[in-house]
Amino acid sequence: METDADRLAMIKSLGGVLASVRGNGIWGIFDNGNIDVLSMVESAGPSLNCRSSDVALVFMTKDDEMEINGEQYRVKKMDPDGTGMTMVHLKK
Amino acid sequence: MTHRAEQIIDAIVALIKAQANLPVNAGNVYAHRTLSLADDQGEMPAITVNIGDDQPSNEGGTDNLAFIDSLLSVSIVGYAIESTEEEVKSQLMDQRRRVHQALMADDSLALPFVIATRYGGAAAPEMDATTERIAGSMESRWHISYRMNFTDPGT
């Protein structure tokens, strides 16, 4: 069974970045790629895929400021996947 | 010569493109668009004109031995992407207004075989805020009564 430590190792092995939120650093996989919404519109959607435990540890909430690679983002939405990881949708 | 239903779609696209004060570039008015609209490639805002159900006026499918009258449903969907929800909805409502003006200026759509064009209602706007900006869409529905040749729907 995958542990939280396994998830952290996986994030780092996949090129994860250290994001800063509420003065804390959390590891996650950052994606600034385009996504489709409304089944038709392709638009830029930055996101950070990180451990759910880290999200809880830093008390992350909507509109929190996050710094990734020197860029500033705001938390738009958090989607836990039920397996220990959370997709944090961001906006600039 | 294409099917008259397709000629109607093409005519609607042309009318919308020519509509004054359309808040969409003429090049972003599409018929049957299935590929996604890329915000970073200037394809937004956009309007798509989509063919819907086509029902004969006569349940038997014929009106006489020469022609068939049919009712074509057309779905016209506007897409907008802005920084705020209010801006998206305002854009969508403006698009909807201009589409209405384009279609109802001449309810024959400048086609000799179109009998009438009627407004068929509109859906509530759909919004999505998962991207960097907020995207929205709104559908308006139109019903076009037209006549086609009994043996060749292109004439």
How remote is the C-alpha of B132 from its chain's centroid?
Answer: 28
- DSSP code per residue over A6-51: HHHHHHHHTT-EEEEETTEEEEEEEE--EEEETTTEEEE--EEEEE
Q: Cα separations (Å) of A50 from A91, B109, B129, B138? A: 16, 54, 20, 34
- Scanning every residue of chain B, which has its alpha carbon at the shortest distance from the alpha carbon of A87? B130
| Nearest Cβ partner for B44 among A36, A41, A77 | A41
Q: Is the dihedral of CA A68, A74, A76, A80 positive or negative?
A: positive
What is the token pair recorded at A91? 């906006």
Predicted confidence (pLDDT) per residue in B30-66, tens digit: 998 988 898 888 999 999 999 999 999 877 666 677 8
Estimate to the nearest angstrom the gap between the alpha carbon of B108 and the chain centroid.
Answer: 14
Selection from B70, B88, B93, B90 nearest residue B139 by Cα: B93
Summarize pLDDT for A36-90 with one digit per residue, the tens. 889 899 887 889 999 999 999 999 999 999 999 999 999 988 989 999 999 998 8
Nearest CA in chain A to B139: A38
Measured between CA atoms, how close is A33 to chain B, in angstroms? 10
Please name the residue of chain B whose CA is at the shortest distance from the CA of residue A37: B128
Q: What is the pTM of this model?
A: 0.74
> Closest approach of chain A CAs to the CA of B118, in angstroms?
26
| Residues in B touching A92 (Cβ below 8 Å) | 132
- The secondary structure element, H or E, covering residue A53 is helix A52-57
ipTM of the complex: 0.80
Contacts of B36 in chain A (CB under 8 A): 36, 40-42
